């Protein structure tokens, strides 16, 4: 949240005034003109202070002790500390500046007046939530999943089968790996009402908020990267398992939240609590899947590898793809590191599928 100027410690007051001074010192020559200072004070006073223009002129010129037409930082600081009207106006400008100035990642600009490495105030991430453009990507994906499920239910008159026309065509089938679309389209196939409803709820609750900050194309890219990672990882580590459901994509959305917490740590409220919550969700669900797979006598084999791979993909692609509101040098290196690791992992799995054919189930056509 934006800090109120009154709460800034005394030992940092000068640095805060320097931030404000640097905002108006656009050519970074260490001074601003008296004319510019007058217009800043005039614009900021407005109806709130209703300061007469003549008074503003006197204030602006009084700050220029050497009468050279420019005000250096020391003169500006003296003005703000000694002149009550100017001080109040300065506080108002500073508070607005801290609260509203956010740097979009795509412009690669450093926020005016902030020295390298200085963070935005907490809460700026939350200020980025917007319904313009509307968050529709995960809603559309969810509707497609519902349509696929309903079509098979109508054809088979049951909700517990994976032998319907849609499921048979789009499920990941280890015996039909050459039908490469199955590495993605298994996300549209669900086994039972519970499987579908749980995936829909989680992906909407996690995906829509991400879209409201980072826009739909980024979230969809992360979702699909998790789906692809889930099927490829399963094909390599568990080559006999069929895959149905969007768990790879859902886990990618979970760790995408972790990624945005990492790269926007200082800009988020309660970042540590969010990180702990998502960490618990990942650990609990993956642990449950492994336990049910190996220690409980169940009929179905749960492809927990897809969960884990989707989570890794969401973290790696999320760090590289999602908006970073204040890019630091080490974060740029982290982005490239995550991108390279993801490409290497996906590339290795693709090569394994293409080269070591004897490792996999016999193809059926």
Do 142 and 89 lie in one domain? The reply is no
Do 261 and 339 lie in one domain? The reply is yes
> Which of the residue ranges 64-73, 191-200, 253-262 would you say has the lowest mean pLDDT?
64-73
227 is written with which tokens?
A: 């789906």
Mean pLDDT along residues 246-267: 87
Note whether 360 and 353 are within 8 A (CB). Answer: yes
- Whether residue 264 is predicted with pLDDT greater than 50 in this model: the reply is yes
Higher pLDDT, 223 or 324: 223
Do 44 and 146 lie in one domain? The reply is no
In a domain, 203, yes or no: yes
Do 342 and 195 lie in one domain? The reply is yes
Which CATH number does the domain housing residue 144 bear? 1.20.1540.10
For residue 62, the model assigns a pLDDT of: 67
Higher pLDDT, 85 or 170: 170
For residue 115, the model assigns a pLDDT of: 40
For residue 193, the model assigns a pLDDT of: 86
φ/ψ of residue 72, rounded to 5: -85, 180
For residue 40, the model assigns a pLDDT of: 63
Question: CB within 8 A of 194, min separation 6: which ones?
Answer: none
In a domain, 175, yes or no: yes
Say what the pTM is. Answer: 0.62
Mean pLDDT along residues 294-323: 80
Look at residue 15 and give its three-state secondary structure: helix
Catalytically active residues are 247, 307
- Whether residue 304 is predicted with pLDDT greater than 60 in this model: the reply is yes
Which CATH number does the domain housing residue 44 bear? 1.10.238.10
Helix axes 216-237, 193-214, angle to 10 degrees: 140
Question: CB within 8 A of 68, min separation 6: which ones?
Answer: none
Domain final position from 100, 127, 154: 100
- Whether residue 145 is predicted with pLDDT greater than 90 in this model: the reply is yes
Do 73 and 147 lie in one domain? The reply is no
For residue 233, the enclosing domain spans 137-359
For residue 335, the model assigns a pLDDT of: 92
Higher pLDDT, 357 or 348: 348
- Whether residue 39 is predicted with pLDDT greater than 90 in this model: the reply is no
- Whether residue 10 is predicted with pLDDT greater than 70 in this model: the reply is no
Sign of the CA dihedral running 306, 309, 314, 320: negative
In a domain, 39, yes or no: yes
Do 89 and 30 lie in one domain? The reply is yes
In a domain, 125, yes or no: no
Do 304 and 213 lie in one domain? The reply is yes
How many domains are there within the chain? 2
Q: pLDDT band at residue 5, thresholds of 50, 70 and 90?
A: very low
Do 149 and 63 lie in one domain? The reply is no
In a domain, 63, yes or no: yes
59 is written with which tokens?
A: 């204030």
Highest mean pLDDT among 142-146, 154-158, 243-247, 356-360: 142-146
Q: pLDDT band at residue 203, thresholds of 50, 70 and 90?
A: very high
Rounded percentage of the chain residues whose pLDDT exceeds 70: 63
For residue 47, the model assigns a pLDDT of: 46
Which parts of the chain fold into alpha helices (H)? 13-24, 34-49, 53-63, 73-82, 84-100, 137-156, 165-170, 182-185, 193-214, 216-237, 247-263, 271-294, 304-321, 329-355
DSSP class of residue 243 equals B
Higher pLDDT, 161 or 107: 161
Do 177 and 305 lie in one domain? The reply is yes
For residue 359, the model assigns a pLDDT of: 87
Condensed to tens digits (0 to 9), the pLDDT of residues 215-232 reads 899 999 999 999 999 999
Do 160 and 285 lie in one domain? The reply is yes
Q: Using CA atoms, how far apart are residues 185 and 167, in angstroms rounded to an integer? A: 9
Radius of gyration of the chain (CA): 28
30 is written with which tokens?
A: 């260490």
Domain final position from 73, 100, 127: 100
Higher pLDDT, 166 or 96: 166
Do 306 and 189 lie in one domain? The reply is yes
For residue 313, the model assigns a pLDDT of: 96
Do 289 and 349 lie in one domain? The reply is yes
Q: Using CA atoms, how far apart are residues 231 and 245, in angstroms rounded to an integer? A: 11
In a domain, 121, yes or no: no
Q: pLDDT band at residue 76, thresholds of 50, 70 and 90?
A: confident
Q: pLDDT band at residue 60, thresholds of 50, 70 and 90?
A: low
Condensed to tens digits (0 to 9), the pLDDT of residues 77-125 reads 776 666 554 555 555 554 444 443 333 333 333 343 434 444 434 445 5
In a domain, 112, yes or no: no
- Whether residue 282 is predicted with pLDDT greater than 50 in this model: the reply is yes
In a domain, 33, yes or no: yes
For residue 131, the model assigns a pLDDT of: 74
β-bridge mates for residue 70, sequence order: 33
Domain final position from 78, 100, 122: 100
Q: Using CA atoms, how far apart are residues 172 and 243, in angstroms rounded to an integer? A: 5
22 is written with which tokens?
A: 């640097």
């Amino acid at each position: 949240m934006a800090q109120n100027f009154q709460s800034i410690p005394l030992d940092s007051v000068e640095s805060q005034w320097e931030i404000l001074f640097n905002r108006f010192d656009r050519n970074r020559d260490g001074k601003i003109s008296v004319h510019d200072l007058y217009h800043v004070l005039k614009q900021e006073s407005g109806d709130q202070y209703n300061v007469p223009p003549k008074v503003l002129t006197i204030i602006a010129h009084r700050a220029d002790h050497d009468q050279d037409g420019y005000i250096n930082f020391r003169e500006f600081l003296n003005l703000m500390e000694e002149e009550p009207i100017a001080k109040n106006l300065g506080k108002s400008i500073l508070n607005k500046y801290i609260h509203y100035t956010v740097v979009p990642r795509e412009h690669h600009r450093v926020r005016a007046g902030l020295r390298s490495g200085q963070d935005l105030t907490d809460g700026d991430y939350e200020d980025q939530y917007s319904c313009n453009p509307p968050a529709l990507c995960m809603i559309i994906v969810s509707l497609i999943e519902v349509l696929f499920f309903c079509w098979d239910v109508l054809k088979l008159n049951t909700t517990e089968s994976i032998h319907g026309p849609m499921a048979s065509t789009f499920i990941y089938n280890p015996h039909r790996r050459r039908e490469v679309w199955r590495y993605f389209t298994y996300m549209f196939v669900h086994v039972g009402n519970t499987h579908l409803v749980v995936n829909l709820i989680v992906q909407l609750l996690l995906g829509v908020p991400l879209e409201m900050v980072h826009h739909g194309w980024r979230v969809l890219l992360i979702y699909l990267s998790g789906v692809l990672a889930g099927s490829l990882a399963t094909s390599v580590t568990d080559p006999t398992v069929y895959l149905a459901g969007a768990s790879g994509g859902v886990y990618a959305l979970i760790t995408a939240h972790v990624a945005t917490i990492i790269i926007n740590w200082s800009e988020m409220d309660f970042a540590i609590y969010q990180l702990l919550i998502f960490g618990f969700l990942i650990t609990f669900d993956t642990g449950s899947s492994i336990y049910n797979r190996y220690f409980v006598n169940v009929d179905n084999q749960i492809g927990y590898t897809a969960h884990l791979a989707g989570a890794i993909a969401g973290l790696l692609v999320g760090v590289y793809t999602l908006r970073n509101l204040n890019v630091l040098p080490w974060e740029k290196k982290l982005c490239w590191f995550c991108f390279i690791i993801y490409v290497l992992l996906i590339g290795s799995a693709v090569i394994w599928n293409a080269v070591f054919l004897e490792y996999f189930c016999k193809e059926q056509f």
